[in-house]
Structure 1
């Protein structure tokens, strides 16, 4: 009996050798990856009592290849070019896209979106990763396919997801436009402190919706809410800092806002590629909650109290902000502030006068030109798709390059805070524009 078994194994080895395939010495779950199905049909990776031979597993995989993959994208692994699709039955289906052979890119897939890949548009190569559990002696295999798209076929569904992803990214900037105007109106009517607190509400709602939604349209609405929150916060923060800060540190505090934004981008670049979709959005939600809680201790601006005639409240908040107990000095500063507030209220201009009065035109031209120049260079697109850009232009890890990009951005913001004191804003703007022009020309 043993001789017959050895003779059978010898014939199988000879047949595998003629087919150009070497029989694995020892069964491992990687051993069947990419093997010829004809060879797998003749092998039994089973000992005594195994449930299914490899031939039946191959046929099951071939039947599965003819089905349509339906579900929604749970998470993306850009390093291994794979995505994890959760099906309606609660099953987890991992799909690996072969680099260099696929029209589809992992970067074009948006987490949380519903996905449906017809079998006629993809050729599925079943990968049987069988393993035998030592204790339970049960044969199992991972639900994993290697998907390649035929070069002649067109997969329109992926193009639709790319367009939805671009909308999700850009709607945050679009929501900041009404957010800026809303922040200006609320800060004058409700006060700086209440406006800062209210700005956290749309941000919290947006982060909460993104955490649990699976619909791209709902995700677009959530991003719009977060953009409104960012616009309100940006305007009110600059107004608040201008009113409470001393002249010596006013510019540095204004630049510190951009430095903190760069720090947040660096945190997302460093954490995002290595955690799941829900974990990343849970972190964003927790940061939004921390922001709302910390703003509870923010005092009101003394300028706003003076516009409402609340002199004792203005003095109290002024002494708290300046961290002083010298009431005589505080009374002197409050008197000076009252003079400025009365002058501003007497010469208050409307939005219409801002565009009709010629004395404001130069300032409008400069600010508008700088912002158009900043966004026309593609800064928003580069920050949003930095990992994808470097993945297509360099043979290095996209997440690692995005982290380096975040560090450079953070360092530039910190350096500008100190260099502006010695060289001025104009020299820094000219240097920055020259560097951006050279970089974009090099990229081509």
Structure 2
């Protein structure tokens, strides 16, 4: 068999994931910018008055509202215009969001910008895992799927590093440039061969596969035939909404939805959106801007390890480590806030604990809960059902994100920050036991083998 060039898959997936870095920059924008927008002196705010607590909550919450819409737009676009052009359309939505944010003179502009960013986020989470899964060979599919979290952390780190030390406008202009870099680079990347085959465009599929694999036309013929046979059998019937809730499809559905529930109710988006506020409220010794940068660096390093090990350790072990670690760190963070609220003298000697807890949380989240639910989404569903199930699952994730970001701060103010962190920690502990007993291992299995495993039948496909 012709050897090919494995690096091409990583390069193409990496360029595609620049979109995730760009949207993460937008998601992390709230952490340094909230401080500017809530400043009573309005030193570096385009608004006529400081943001109220309620307005801040809505600025955070409009993004997941947009993501719910974007998930359905992305699912429709992926099947109609392809994965590549769907991702480019998502970039256009994000650029519109940045124009509104850069031109903001009233809080309504921020609401609108966050909605457009949310549409982008929903489209990316719907289409990007599909794109990476469809260009990947079986032996690197987990690694390519895990790039999503690593690139998101690049975006977070960039906005944490730039935001506290530059003006509101500069942060917005860098965000626009980020989107432009993705759109220009990704324009030259191929569509997925699976999409072309689903449209009966066999020669275009073969040309795509030649670019992705780095092989000759003859060298990809066998893989094209295998893909075509699988797609042909999958597309013989058109999947409906009811198909998502039948048999092995329902098993894939509830596993993916449950993992995304544990992902979101780890509190990750609340932590990202309100990180600077959390550090300021904790009163730790380090300046909040330095604390967020430290967390961002560690977050990036940790997430870069996942693609290196996920196809060796599988999916279950990183998920187990991740849920255990996030539960532990949230428990410690809750304990710090409890003794802080009680004005205990011990607080002065454990000022390091918020940063230590946040670092443990981010590291272990980045190893499993962050990337792997989305990687599994790209693996567990058959092709004809994936197009129907993915928008529903992404929309469900958007609803969860909205609930956490909208009500995190009000509940924390009403009950105490320690209560919120302990509740989130309990959710992560539940995720540990769910993974232990119900999540299947997909390491090294072809998409057909995974379907056979979920259905409880002997595999009909040999390993690629």
Q: TM-score, normalised by structure 2?
A: 0.61
User: For residue 172 of structure 1, what is the aligned residue in structure 2?
Assistant: 63
Deviations along 1:74-128, whole A, 9 cap, x unmatched?
A: x97969x96653xxxxxxxx5xxxxxxxxxxxxxxx933221xxxxxxxxxxxxx
How many angstroms does 1:421 deviate by?
3.2
Please tell me whether residue 423 in structure 1 is matched to residue 423 in structure 2. Answer: no
User: For residue 208 of structure 1, what is the aligned residue in structure 2?
Assistant: 99
Output the CA distance in 2 between the equivalents of 1:371 and 1:337: 29
How many angstroms does 1:426 deviate by?
1.3
How many angstroms does 1:405 deviate by?
0.8
Please tell me whether residue 321 in structure 1 is matched to residue 212 in structure 2. Answer: yes
Aligned CA distance change for structure 1 residues 315 and 78 (closer, same or farther; 3 Å): closer
User: For residue 175 of structure 2, what is the aligned residue in structure 1?
Assistant: 284
Alignment check: 8 A CA contact 2:94 2:117 kept: yes
How many angstroms does 1:195 deviate by?
1.1
How many angstroms does 1:422 deviate by?
3.5
Please tell me whether residue 189 in structure 1 is matched to residue 80 in structure 2. Answer: yes
Alignment of 1:271-350 (within 5 A): 271-324=162-215, 326-350=216-240
Deviations along 1:322-377, whole A, 9 cap, x unmatched?
A: 222x222222222222111111101442122212x133232222222221122122
User: For residue 45 of structure 1, what is the aligned residue in structure 2?
Assistant: none
Output the CA distance in 2 between the equivalents of 1:111 and 1:181: 34
Query: Which secondary structure does the structure 2 equivalent of 1:297 belong to?
Result: coil
Output the CA distance in 1 between the equivalents of 2:212 and 2:312: 28
Aligned CA distance change for structure 1 residues 346 and 162 (closer, same or farther; 3 Å): same
Output the CA distance in 2 between the equivalents of 1:77 and 1:318: 45
Aligned CA distance change for structure 1 residues 440 and 403 (closer, same or farther; 3 Å): same
- 1:354 equivalent among 244, 247, 250: 244
Output the CA distance in 1 between the equivalents of 2:109 and 2:306: 38
How many angstroms does 1:187 deviate by?
0.8
Please tell me whether residue 374 in structure 1 is matched to residue 263 in structure 2. Answer: yes
Alignment check: 8 A CA contact 2:97 2:114 kept: yes
Please tell me whether residue 249 in structure 1 is matched to residue 140 in structure 2. Answer: yes
How many angstroms does 1:282 deviate by?
0.5
User: For residue 69 of structure 1, what is the aligned residue in structure 2?
Assistant: none
How many angstroms does 1:420 deviate by?
2.4
- 2:273 equivalent among 384, 406, 417: 384
Where structure 1 has 5 or more consecutive residues not aligned to the other structure, the ranges are 1-74, 86-93, 95-109, 116-157
Alignment of 1:209-224 (within 5 A): 209-224=100-115
Output the CA distance in 1 between the equivalents of 2:48 and 2:314: 51
Alignment check: 8 A CA contact 2:63 2:115 kept: yes
Output the CA distance in 2 between the equivalents of 1:367 and 1:235: 13
Output the CA distance in 2 between the equivalents of 1:329 and 1:219: 51
Output the CA distance in 2 between the equivalents of 1:329 and 1:82: 62
Alignment check: 8 A CA contact 1:77 1:83 kept: no
How many angstroms does 1:217 deviate by?
1.5
Alignment check: 8 A CA contact 1:76 1:83 kept: no
User: For residue 298 of structure 2, what is the aligned residue in structure 1?
Assistant: 408
Alignment check: 8 A CA contact 1:266 1:407 kept: yes
Query: Which secondary structure does the structure 2 equivalent of 1:443 belong to?
Result: helix
Which one has the bigger strand percentage?
1
Output the CA distance in 1 between the equivalents of 2:311 and 2:208: 29
Alignment of 1:3-402 (within 5 A): 85=42, 111-115=45-49, 161-324=52-215, 326-355=216-245, 357-393=246-282, 394-402=284-292
Aligned CA distance change for structure 1 residues 76 and 260 (closer, same or farther; 3 Å): closer
Greater than 4 Å deviation, 4+ residue runs? 75-79, 81-84
Alignment check: 8 A CA contact 2:139 2:311 kept: no
How many angstroms does 1:419 deviate by?
3.0
CA RMSD between the two structures:
2.2
Output the CA distance in 2 between the equivalents of 1:219 and 1:397: 27
Larger of the two Rg values belongs to structure: 1
Equivalences, count: 301
How many angstroms does 1:264 deviate by?
0.6
Output the CA distance in 1 between the equivalents of 2:169 and 2:155: 18
Higher relative contact order (CA 8 A, sep 6+): 2
Query: Which secondary structure does the structure 2 equivalent of 1:346 belong to?
Result: coil
Output the CA distance in 1 between the equivalents of 2:33 and 2:121: 27
Alignment check: 8 A CA contact 2:101 2:113 kept: yes
Query: Which secondary structure does the structure 2 equivalent of 1:248 belong to?
Result: coil
Output the CA distance in 2 between the equivalents of 1:274 and 1:259: 24
Output the CA distance in 1 between the equivalents of 2:33 and 2:256: 40
Output the CA distance in 2 between the equivalents of 1:183 and 1:240: 12
